[in-house]
Structure 1
Amino acid sequence: MDVSNQGITSLKGIEYFTNLESLNCRGNQLTQLDVNANRQLKNLNAKANWLTSLTLRLPLLKGLYVGENQLTTLDVTGCPSLIDLNFERNKITRIDLSGNPELIQLYSRSNLLTSLDLSHNTKLVFIETFDNKLTEIDVSMLSELRFLHIEHNRLTTLDMSHNPKLEDSGFVGRNNDLRTLILPNVPGLKVDAEDFLE
């Protein structure tokens, strides 16, 4: 169902669409969204609304796109099938991803994240979490990681020695407080030293 960019302020009645698999309600004026009755939902795009809080209990949900809202809390622990999560440009300080073991792509840039526990997300391939307040991040268990864009945080140490699949230009980490950077032995991996000098 596509109701994007319609000036909608409410999706009251959406709960009656029990077989709904995809909902695109981006670019509206929604301040609340409850789709937990839509148990068949696999894709939800609620980007560019006015949402401040969102709790989802959708066992089949694979793609969630809620960037450019006013979210301070996002609960996706009830979405075990989630593969693609985008909550960029919100006001989230922390998020629990322990219930999302299938996660492959994470877009969390431009929030207020101070920590990010990825220990339950070992299938992650792509992480874009720049412009936050992260002081540390452990990616040692992410052996499939190919891209890590983590610039504009407060990191002092970053160990990526356990990320052998990191691709050329797959690491961007400038504008941190990095004093120690350990990279995997990946032929062709380029890191610009000037990015770390001030």
Structure 2
Amino acid sequence: MFKNNIKKYISSLAAVATVIGAFSVGFVSYGADSVVINAANFPDANLRDVVSAWYDTDSDGVLQQSEIQGIKTISIPGMLEDTCGEDAEISDLTGIENFTDCVRLRCGGIGLDTLDVSKMPQLVELTCGGNNLSSIDVSQNANLEWLNCPSNVLSTLDISANKKLTRLDCYINKLTSIDLSANTALTALYCQQNDLTSLNISALTALKTLNCSVNHLKTLDLSANTALEKASNSLIGNQTVDAPARYEDPAIFVQLAIENPSNITSTSLDRVDIVDGVEVSVPGYDGVDFTPQNADEIINGIEYYYNTGLSFAEDMKVTVNPIRNFYQVKFFKDETKTEVVGTVIVNKGETATAPEITDTPQCKAFVNWSTDLTNITTDMETYAVWKDDHSLAVTSFNDNIVHIECTKCGKQQIDASFTAILNAEKGAENYVALADVNNDGIINGKDYARLLNTFRN
């Protein structure tokens, strides 16, 4: 009896120990340095699956220090595809900071909406391009040497704390400015296809590679960047800027303030005028305005080339897009659009006044212009629509054939057999009005007699 009670007591203690142990797994995370792979520690379900599949080597649902230590590089994209499928995404990387030895985090193109690496100060490389990131905070990542964050929607990027940075890839974003004054270790900068309106890289004397093309730079100073290996227009040019245009009859002006305008080497508006028999070069930019001769010269933009101050660099190409509230209407003589009869400038919403056509085509009468000339809201071309205006007459009557042709051009000709039109009344298909010389509404013997008399040999 006593032995049986002892056994029951021991069994009860064992059961209690088992329950306590089970609760310890859920709340204590298997020790202070272990991390349970759950929604609290890894909110994103796909990230939990990746961590479980690739790093929970004993499959116990917990990351032990032995499973975390020594992980230097984490490349999420490949692991995500292998674990969750080709189109799987991760929107939140919370929990990745538990990998305290990770110095290279690669999480590009996985669908991230946010990214917090503030608890990973050991990072040397961060690749997070091709996501949906509108901001990245790398202020706590002083060891970062390469920040690779292209193809996001970044409008700002603060890298003032990243003084060890040697490479920055931030292309295809929405950056309007970037302060690089603290990043003097940079040797490679890729900031193309943003919305940058200025770029100061005078402090980057170690810079070897630069791509800042397809932004909105008006000027660029590379005089301090003598370490650059290449500075072709494809790497620094293809800039676009907007500028207001105004029309002061009869002149057009496109205003744009350009620092150091003497660095402009040429523009698409440059021309050579003949003054008193002498050729005079006239620049298309006068230091304040671009001065086109007509609207045709600005419809597709104005181009200029800017000397960056680096001897081996190509001049930077900039295209100016005039912003205007006036438009050009060009009038052509006919649908072939080979002869211009006039051009007018019209303010937005107004009606264009058509020029007078003094040289009317032979045997043609003006009908109208091919397009509506009211409420002009864009540059447009229009042409005169004409109708035939021949002077037809019977010119001969031989062998019962009534021959009719245009007395002005001789090109319009009609031959009608009198037998075929005899007794034809006005309105009938075979009625020929000019053969009805009596003008009585019927072609008959009277008309025949008069035709014979008129054209008697």
Asked if Structure 1 and Structure 2 have the same fold, meaning a TM-score greater than 0.5 normalized by the shorter chain, the answer is yes
| Structure-2 residue corresponding to 1:74 | 136
**Equivalent pair of 1:11/1:33 in contact (CA under 8 Å):** no
Taking the TM superposition and a 5 Å limit, the aligned residue runs for 1:1-198 are 9-11=46-48, 16=63, 17-19=67-69, 20-26=71-77, 28=80, 29-34=89-94, 35-57=96-118, 58-169=120-231, 172-177=235-240, 180-185=306-311, 189-191=312-314, 195-196=317-318
Listed as ranges, the gaps of 5+ residues in structure 2 are: 1-44, 56-61, 81-88, 242-257, 259-305, 321-457
Give, in whole Å, the separation in 1 of the partners of 2:216 and 2:231.
21
SS of 1:9's equivalent?
A: helix
Please tell me the root mean square deviation across aligned C-alpha atoms, in Å.
2.3
CA contact 1:147–1:170 (8 Å) conserved in 2: no
Larger Cα Rg: Structure 1 or Structure 2?
2
| CA 79–31 in structure 1, closer or farther in 2 if over 3 Å, else same | same
**2: CA distance, partners of 1:23 / 1:170:** 36
Tell me which amino acid in the other structure corresponds to 1:152.
Answer: V
Instruction: Rate the CA distance shift 1:155–1:196 in 2: closer, same or farther, 3 A.
Output: closer
Report the TM-score, using the length of structure 2 for normalisation.
0.38
Aligned-pair identity in percent equals 27
AA partner of residue 55 (structure 1): D
CA drift of 1:184 comes to: 2.7
**What runs of 5+ residues in structure 1 fail to find an aligned partner?**
1-7
Residue 47 of structure 1 contacts residue 66 of structure 1 at CA under 8 Å; is this kept in 2? yes
CA gap of 1:24–1:100, structure 2 versus 1, over 3 A, is same
Structure 2 CA distance for aligned equivalents of residues 11 and 75 of structure 1 = 23
Identify which range, 56-65 or 175-184, moves more after superposition: 175-184
Aligned residue pairs, count: 187
Is this contact kept in 2: 1:64–1:84, CA < 8 A?
yes
TM-score by length of 1: 0.84
Partner Cα distance (1:121, 1:99) in 2: 9
Tell which has more relative contact order, 1 or 2 (C-alpha 8 A, sep 6+).
Answer: 1
**Residues 121, 170 of structure 1: alpha-carbon distance in 2 compared, 3 angstrom cutoff:** farther
In structure 2, C-alpha distance between the alignment counterparts of 1:181 and 1:43, rounded to whole Å = 39
More helix by share: 2
| Contact 1:113 1:132 (8 Å CA) reproduced | yes
Residue type at the aligned position of 2:236: G
Contact 2:308 2:315 (C-alpha < 8 Å) held by counterparts: no
Quick check: 2:174–2:195 contact (8 Å CA) kept in 1? yes
Separation of aligned partners in 2, 1:168 and 1:158: 15
Is 112-121 or 173-182 further displaced after alignment? 173-182
Residue 169 of structure 1 and its aligned partner are, at CA, apart by 4.2
In the other structure, the counterpart of 2:348 is none
- The structure with the largest strand share of the pair is 2
Are the counterparts in 2 of residues 65 and 86 from structure 1 also a CA contact under 8 Å? yes
2:238 and 2:204 mapped to 1: Cα distance?
23
